[in-house]
Amino acid sequence: MTEVRHNWTQEEISEIYYSPLLDLVYRAATIHRENKDYSEVQISSLISIKTGGCPEDCAYCPQAARYNTGVDVHAIMPKDEVIAAAEKAKAGGASRLCMGAAWREVRDNRDFDKVIDMVKAVNSLDMEVCCTLGMLTESQAQRLADAGLYAYNHNLDTSEDDYKRIITTRTYDERLQTLDNVRKAHISVCSGGIIGLGETDADRISMLRTLSNLPQHPESVPINALVPVKGTPLADQPRVSVWDMVRMIATTKIVMPKSVVRLSAGRTEMSTVEQAFCFMAGANSIFAGEKLLTTPNPSFSDDMAMLELLGLKPREAFKNGRPGKKVEEAVEAN
């Protein structure tokens, strides 16, 4: 079995990243197939439970209040609508519901109390529950864990050096601190990044080095292709090449072999053949459903047809144990 390392250098990851594409895919696919369940794809559905009006200045985000992107601002979604969305997602084939709120950080108020109730309600539907709510304190992470939260998403987005070009309203260290707080609460960590922001290859490699050298690798690593949105500073960025996505996914699988690599935003621009290359390179998770917060995404029916064509199958919920079981024990069980 492939060794899990936490001491990767920039040079080592660069050598992997720049290796001939088919050799890179073959190496990643070989590592991927060391897992007996390599044909399983973890399917998540992402909904926006509080939309727009965010005080952050993330250059890619249509929900930032300072940009005129046409996104309507909505207060926090009622719990019954969240439950209905979860039931629809489960019927469509999703095993996990991820709830996103356009907040800079979680505040200890009535809205957070509502999120806690949502987590409990969705968990009772026999679905894994994920949240992405911005920065999180250790005590807030523990509240979510006690409510049954399975995973928490908090992406690094890009390298530490490139970060200030994309976001100035919070620091890279604050993002890492949130990941640490999530880990302390024994919640599964979901953290990756976005390519196509105008970053260099070195930035992409540096981001993977940061994630792969954490004391414990994220259980899930989303690789997003930027979806340019009119009104944001990155509206005119060109589409990312599918081969850049394949290269990133394969490199991620090699340096973090036990992590689930999620083929995330940008799939609407990819053909079935292009997505098949991503699965071959080690992707074994997708977001399904017509929207990713506010941007388009393939439908459940289209994704189920694609998985059937490729001989892949949806992964069942709680394959690595229920909330409350230490994440590190769950990973060993995989």
The predicted-structure confidence for 116-157, as pLDDT tens digits, reads as follows 999 999 999 999 999 999 999 999 999 999 999 999 999 999
pTM score, whole prediction:
0.90
In angstroms, the CA 282 to CA 261 distance is: 7
Residue 278 annotated in active site: no
Low-confidence ranges of the chain (pLDDT < 50): 326-334
Catalytic residue among 58, 143, 183, 209: 58
Catalytic residue among 96, 175, 262, 315: 262
- Local structure of residue 328 (DSSP, 8 states): H
Classify each residue of 49-71 as buried b or exposed e, where b means 16 or more C-beta atoms within 10 Å of its C-beta: bbbbebebbbbbbbbbeebeeeb
pLDDT at 301: 82
Burial of 276 (0-12, 13-18, 19+ CB in 10 A): middle
The dihedral of CA 176, 182, 186, 191: what is its sign? negative
Catalytic residue among 98, 175, 183, 278: 98
pLDDT at 332: 41
Residue 131 annotated in active site: no
Which runs of consecutive H residues, i.e. helices, occur in 33-109?
79-92
Catalytic residue among 27, 131, 190, 267: 190
In angstroms, the CA 250 to CA 281 distance is: 5
pLDDT at 330: 43
Which pair of tokens denotes residue 188? Answer: 């599964």
pLDDT at 323: 65
